[in-house]
A and B are shown apart, each in its own frame.
Chain A
Amino acid sequence: MRTDAAVDAAFSLADVRAAGLRWTEYLEIRGRLGREPNRVELAMFGVMWSEHCAYKHSRRYLKLLPTQGDGVLQGPGENAGVVEVAPGIGVALKVESHNHPSAIDPFHGAATGVGGILRDVLSMGARPIAILDSLRFGSPAHAASRRLRDGVVSGIAHYGNAIGVPTVGGELVYEDRYAENPLVNAACIGIVRADRLARSAAAGPGNPVLYAGARTGRDGIGGAAFASDELDVASVDRDRSAVQIGDPFAGKSLIEATLAALDTGVVVAIQDMGAAGLTCATSEMSSKGGVGMRIDLARVPRREAGMTAGELLLSESQERMLLIVRQGEADTVAAIYRRWGLQAEVIGEVTAEPALRIYDGGTLVVDLPPESLTEAPAYQVPEEEPKGRALIVEAPESPRSVAEALLRVLGAPTVASKRAVFRQYDHMVQLNTVVAPGADAAVLRLKEAPPVAIAVAIDGNGRTTWLDAWAGGAGAASEAALNVACTGARPVAATDGLNFGSPEKPETAWDLHNAIAGIADACRAMRVPIVGGNVSLYNESPVGSIFPTPMVAVIGVLSDVSCALTSAFRDDGDLIVLIGEEAASLDGSEYDKIVRGRVAGKPVRVDVAAHARLVALLPALAADGLLQSAHDVSGGGLAVALAECCIAGHFGARCRISGSSDPELALFGEGPSRVVATVTRSRLAALVARCRSAGVPVAELGVVEGDALAIRAASADLVVGLDQLRTAWEG
């Protein structure tokens, strides 16, 4: 790749690669600047042009996503998206990955993942009110996977519990493809008055630039660039200094101080210093505002002596914010931070000339146009449709009966109860949690706008995506929206976390493109805009790439919290109905993996128009009191969904599944658009009429009764006692 121009270059290929750049990118930088960058500048380009910060490979696909819609107060491009959920009340949401740090140091990696996403939401002026985590690990049968999982769970608990933001939901999925490269995506929801939204564009030449929060140390140096690398065996030791260390105590104080600072009305712009630290915050804020900054690193509060300019600029030390404050008001704002025991120093000022000039005392160390850093080149790479993807996981012994098969699927790590995990998270603090973790979606009442509540869920299915990327992307968005709708909430916005392998592999590029197209198609049909998101690429290890894993978090609005539904069967004698499209398949299903030991074939593609009708119908049915309970049918199919409703409600059920002559398919087949719901006998006719007029299929399944789940499906008869179901599910 090295060209003749290299002969007179100031940097070697090794230097350029060490900065995380390609040779062509180095040449591009020289071209843009009309001179050689210095070593510090080169390092800044390295982090800012990383995939993590610059979306070099995903940008052109992300354009497919719908980002506008009713109530969107802030779409992509800020630290978090914001949507109006009640008059004058906005909810900020964002998801972010911390996969690589968590692979290296599960506890701190996960903890700082939570801290980082909290500050993205805080940057919008929102008080964080909930966290959700979507986690992927290798099979818990392996000690190494359990160690990673336990480290990640305690890291999330450590940070989330102390900072006083409830962890209200999420996912925990086990697949061996994640064994070496776990996925840790954290989503945060915040609440903000619509007229008090904070933004990040710097403005007002002469306005002071205020550094606030914790001191800067040597942790997390080059984290953004490292997050965009593949993991190898040496990573664990070599990269540990790229993992940040979080301090939830400082994080909590930072939330309170920042909200108080924003309340003063003198803060012009604010951004957290997360990935790429001071470099990212100064260049992005300047670039967005079309202004420049003059910064003096000598004034940056630091944890240790002897830090170089490069270290100060690249450090990803946690719990730090950068603020632009109105002239003459820096002391007022600084005093608020100091009252909370935090650092607050003016480190520079906004300049009219759009130049980022960074001094270290009297010495000019960086002189760059801000947009040269923020506008990285984009790449179009060849795509190739994957063919013949199939895995034979293992050949487990066949179950002797469908009842045994049900118990086996119900007890599979991905399907089984996650109570042991979520009871380690404080999910009640802030007094909003009406429906706690373990449900289809969490429901939070809004004290600011009673009786309005919001529902949130995050979903993604790597196995489906691996088999059919479009189906996986569309499925993730569809399932999250359906989970939200099952509580009676109307989905209003979403954020996406895209976790893939190396985009430089044509099959991965295909997956990325098609998964995003799937999310876009489903969201467009449901009129749910994607208001922000995160891309994590290069999730590769020596054993290969992860399953491509798009995750989508959806937020919905319940106009009256008292109408909130859960999956639990409520009363003896209630009738059980199946609402939605019947299409289902065993391809890619939990049953196929657990019982038949295969991951192969074509999962059902969601019919986005039909799914949108279902998602729109459920909140209307809930609001009119036509439903007693609702639960989406996902992993494990109808049999597992029915078992879950029984376990949650402490009731048995007697059901008959018609329509298929294959009992396995009828019981365990998975389809994206099905809901198990209950209705009182007297309201059945009204419910059926409403479904029909909405163009949504509905079929009677059975009745809530007794203390066992009895299902007749084609030639199979299954009867399992509630206690047995519970034992299998709770493990």
Chain B
Amino acid sequence: MSAPRVAVVIFPGSNCDRDVLHVLRGVLGADAHTVWHEERSLAGFDAVILPGGFSYGDYLRAGAIAATSPILAAVRAAASAGVLVAGICNGFQILLEAGLLPGAMLPNRDATFVCDWTRIRVERDDLPFTCAYGRGQIARMPVAHGEGNYYADADTLSRLEANRQVVFRYVDDDGAATAHGNPNGALHNIAGIVDERGNVLGMMPHPERCSEALLGSCDGRAFFEGLLASIAKRAHSVAGGGR
């Protein structure tokens, strides 16, 4: 069985691509590769990460132009084939704009960019992205965005909640999902969601920024470790182990 292959997509304006690669390769020794936005195939990859940044300058709306780029067709195809897709920050915004996840991002409640530490509660531990966390575990993770105020209509919100698609929720120091713990005004304190099948995830916090003790928290490392472990496990369970 070969090591999981992870793609990190680079759009012009991406600025967390090198950070995600650093954690995957440098910290975790994973087999990670960059994929340029003009490419049209993601064949051979077990997981795809859309990193943070300001793709195409976030002109029009955050993530809007990236959602129409050539690589997004490949991301769409990979997602429907069950490949794990994770969008972090701008990557989440792109997945929303591409319709791969429901809802939209509004400007932050305070109308300014916010870069700060937050606490997020892991609502599910049965997903490939969260299998290395415990259910209800509270992780300390930074956010850095101007548009992270998650919005969806009431029906969508109740469907997300009913289907247990809310994966991460902002909480305060006491672990409660209050306005005080919410850095941007996101509805239901939503920090991250997953699609109905459970293989496409979007999150505003940056797990790559808290994967080394030196940087103030290691709580993000389990995100990548879980992702890699679950791919390895999947491959193992497939007869012959081939792809």
- Write the residues of chain A forming the contact surface with B, with a CB cutoff of 8 angstroms: 154, 157, 161-164, 247-250, 252-253, 340-341, 422-431, 433-434, 445, 447, 561-562
Contacts and interface: CB of A to CB of B under 8 A. Distances in A.
A427 B115 contact: yes
A561 B212 CA distance: 13
Interface stretch (B9-17, B123-131, B158-166, B169-177): B9-17
Nearest to A255: B15
A341 B12 contact: yes
Nearest to A427: B115
Interface residues of B, number: 30
A449 B22 CA distance: 14
24 contacts: A154-B112, A161-B144, A162-B53, A163-B15, A248-B57, A249-B12, A249-B56, A252-B13, A422-B115, A423-B114, A425-B113, A428-B206, A428-B215, A429-B15, A429-B16, A429-B19, A429-B144, A429-B209, A430-B19, A431-B23, A431-B209, A434-B214, A447-B26, A562-B214
A249 B54 contact: yes
B195 interface: no
Contacts of B144: 161, 426, 428-429
A99 to B, nearest CB: 24
Contacts of B208: 431
Main secondary structure of the interface of B (DSSP, over half): mixed
Nearest to B19: A431
Contacts of B196: none
Given A252-B54, A431-B19, A447-B26, A426 B113 contact: yes
B112 A433 contact: no
Contacts of A341: 12
B19 A426 contact: no
A252 B12 contact: yes
Contact of A247 (B26, B57, B206, B212): B57
Contact of B209 (A253, A428, A562): A428
A391 B198 CA distance: 67
Given A248-B57, A341-B12, A447-B22, A434 B114 contact: no
Given A423-B115, A426-B115, 15 more contacts: A157-B112, A161-B144, A161-B146, A162-B57, A249-B56, A249-B57, A252-B12, A252-B13, A422-B115, A425-B115, A427-B115, A428-B206, A429-B19, A434-B214, A447-B26
Interface string B197-236: 0000000001011001011000000000000000000000
B91 interface: no
A162 B54 contact: yes
B31 interface: no
Interface string B164-194: 0000000000000000000000000000000
Given A429-B16, A431-B208, A434-B214, A248 B114 contact: no
B221 to A, nearest CB: 12
A247 B142 CA distance: 26
A252 B12 CA distance: 8
A247 B59 CA distance: 11
Contacts of B209: 428-429, 431
Contact of A424 (B26, B54, B113): B113
B40 interface: no
B18 interface: yes
A676 to B, nearest CB: 24
Contacts of A561: 214
Contact of B18 (A163, A424, A430, A434): A430
A424 B112 contact: yes
Contacts of B22: 431, 447
Contacts of A157: 112-113
Q: Which 6 residue pairs of A and B lie closest in terms of their CB atoms, listed nearest first?
A: A164-B15, A249-B57, A162-B54, A426-B144, A426-B115, A431-B19
Contacts of A424: 112-115
Contacts of B39: none
Interface string B57-68: 111000000000
A433 B215 contact: yes
Contacts of B58: 162, 249
Contacts of A426: 113, 115, 144
Nearest to B57: A249
Interface string B126-153: 0000000000000000101010000000
User: Which residue among A154, A424, A447 has the maximum number of chain B CB atoms within 10 Å of its CB?
Assistant: A424
A50 B168 CA distance: 56
Nearest to A162: B54
A423 B212 CA distance: 21
B113 A340 contact: no
B115 A431 contact: no
Contact of A340 (B12, B23, B112): B12
A558 to B, nearest CB: 12
Nearest to B142: A428
User: Which residue among A424, A426, A562 has the maximum number of chain B CB atoms within 10 Å of its CB?
Assistant: A426
Contacts of A431: 19, 22-23, 208-209, 212, 215
Contacts of A434: 214-215
A409 to B, nearest CB: 27
Nearest to A252: B13
A164 B53 contact: yes
Contacts of A422: 115
A103 to B, nearest CB: 22
A120 to B, nearest CB: 20
A562 B212 CA distance: 13
Contacts of B214: 434, 445, 561-562
A433 B19 CA distance: 12
Contacts of A427: 115
A249 B215 contact: no
Contacts of A253: 12-13
B13 A161 contact: no
Contacts of A252: 12-13, 15, 53-54
A340 B37 CA distance: 11
Contacts of B52: 429
Contact of B13 (A249, A445, A447): A249
Nearest to A163: B15
A161 B16 CA distance: 11
Contacts of A445: 214
B16 A164 contact: yes
User: Which residue among B13, B19, B22 has the maximum number of chain A CB atoms within 10 Å of its CB?
Assistant: B13
A21 to B, nearest CB: 39
B215 A162 contact: no
Nearest to B23: A431
Contacts of B212: 431
Nearest to A127: B18
A422 B116 CA distance: 9
A154 B110 CA distance: 13
A447 B19 CA distance: 11
A248 B144 CA distance: 17
Contacts of B12: 249, 252-253, 340-341
B56 to A, nearest CB: 7
Interface string B11-55: 011011011001100100000000000000000000000001110
Contacts of B57: 162, 247-250
A198 B52 CA distance: 30
Contacts of A340: 12
Contacts of B114: 423-424
Contacts of A433: 215
A161 B19 contact: no
A596 to B, nearest CB: 36
Interface string B94-115: 0000000000000000001111
Contacts of A429: 15-16, 19, 52, 144, 209
A164 B53 CA distance: 7
A337 to B, nearest CB: 12
A164 B144 CA distance: 11
Contacts of B19: 429-431
